[in-house]
Amino acid sequence: MLYVVAWPVLGEADDTALRRLRAQYHPKEAGLIGPHFTLVFGAALDEERRLRAALGTIDRRPFWFMIERIARVEQYLFAEPFDGAAELTELHDTLNSMSDQGPGAEPFQPHITLGLFQHFAEAEQVARIVERQHLPMRGRVEELALLRRDGEALETLATHRLGG
């Protein structure tokens, strides 16, 4: 499967906090990939050429984002940006506009996955702690990456630095 992610550039304390949260509450994925915004999720391998071309057409400047909210969806815990969400959504739409799969059934909501919990109540408790201790978090998106996942291996196929 192929993925396109936006790498957040964060201050040291915020980056450490996100990495620790992911290691504790989403350990299977945290060992594979650090904090990121997923822009293309699980595309077929035959989409690689199209995704490389789409990355090459992106002509935008790096941008700031601000995470001010922790969201709970079922047993997942997400850090959602307010500032920067429009830019991430625009990148998502650009990269997915020519997909054979078409747009997803769910509307896109930019986020960094923090954890997966067995019980909603546990996710709710952790969300309150994270909001109180770590928010807001401010960062910048400067680079996108096309990744290929093969089982437990993740390979970077291409990167694209935002210009300006």
Query: In terms of C-beta density within 10 A (0-12 exposed, 13-18 middle, 19 or more buried), how is residue 106 classed?
Result: exposed
pLDDT at 61: 96
pLDDT of 146 strictly over 90: yes
Domain tally, the chain: 1
pLDDT at 163: 87
pLDDT of 151 strictly over 90: no
Contact between 72 and 120 under an 8 Å Cβ cutoff? The reply is: yes
What average pLDDT score do residues 114-129 get?
90
Range of the domain at 114: 2-161
What average pLDDT score do residues 92-118 get?
80
- Write down the pTM of the prediction: 0.91
CATH of the domain at 31: 3.90.1140.10
Tell me the per-residue pLDDT of 42-91, one tens digit each, with 9 for 90 and over: 999 999 999 999 999 999 999 999 999 999 888 899 999 999 999 999 99
Residue 136 preceded by cis peptide, ω within 30: yes
